[in-house]
Each structure stands twice: as structure tokens, then as C-alpha cells.
Amino acid sequence: MIVRAELIRFARFAAVGLVGTIAHYALLLALVEIGGAPPLAGSVAGFVLGAMVNYAINHRFVFRSARAHSEALPRFMTVAGVGLCWNALLMYVLVDLAGLYYLLAQVLTTGLLLLWHYVGNAVWTFRQDKAGGA
């Protein structure tokens, strides 16, 4: 029962992540293709936008957190910040060193970071205390 509930929550998390990813990629494409920004800068800006979208939806609908925003948001941004560092490093390695097309590199990077973000947020950001509170 617990495993099934966790799989359902992970599926909701991934669906919310898709919304954040759309925001991420939309800004990435706009900055790179229209604004002429370097792919790494566009990726970082898109990542930050996607993180904010994801926080708002995950707090309320996926984890149904009672944890105050003053506590949850810094935790979420810490998890996202570590993810951002991984995002930047992976984009640099895949685009600049390996020569992959930036969108393919971003898709691979996003897939790798999905598990990091879920575990970090489930275990630390939004985890309910055993006493039932946040």
C-alpha cells in the first residue's frame, strides 16, 4: 500500500515537473533562439523559472504540505540549487565538451535530475514529521 501511494505521488510529481519543464524550456528557447543568449545561460534561467513553478504546485497538490512556506521554500530552493549546479555541470559537459545539441543535452539532463528532485523534496522539503505535523 505504501509503495503504491509513493508511486502515485511520484507520478503526480513527474506530471507537475512536466509543467515546470515546459516553463523551463520555453524560457530556454526564447533566450537562446530569440535573444541570442548562450545555451548555458538560457538553461540556468529556465531552470530557475521551472523551480518556482514546481514549488508552488508541489507544495499544494503533490505533497499537500502543511510545512510553512518560510521553512519549505528555503529547503525546496536548496534541493533545486543543488539540482541547478548539476544542471549547469551536465549542460557544460554535454554541450561544450561532448558537442551534443543543446536541446538533446537538456532532455538528458532533465531526466537525470528528476530522481534527485523527487527524493530531495519527498525526504527533506515536504516530509511530514512522525507526529503528523510538518
Predicted pLDDT of residue 131: 54
| C-alpha cell, 46 | 529556465
3-state secondary structure the chain: CHHHHHHHHHHHHHHHHHHHHHHHHHHHHHHHHHCCCCHHHHHHHHHHHHHHHHHHHHHHHHCCCCCCHHHHHHHHHHHHHHHHHHHHHHHHHHHHHCCCCHHHHHHHHHHHHHHHHHHHHHHHHCCCCCCCCC
Query: How many Cα atoms sit within 13 Å of 29 on the Cβ side?
Result: 9
What is the reported pLDDT for 51?
A: 86
Q: Give the model confidence (pLDDT) of 46-91 as tens digits.
A: 988 998 899 999 999 999 999 999 999 999 999 988 988 998 999 9
- Is-above-0.75 flag for pTM? no
Structure confidence at residue 2 as a pLDDT band (50, 70, 90): confident
Q: What values do phi and psi take at 26, rounded to 5?
A: -60, -45
The residue ranking higher by pLDDT, 2 or 13, is 13
For residue 130, what pLDDT band results from cuts at 50, 70 and 90? low
Given pLDDT bands bounded at 50, 70 and 90, which one contains residue 41?
very high
The contacts of residue 61 (CB under 8 Å, 6+ apart) are: 12, 16
Higher pLDDT, 99 or 2: 99
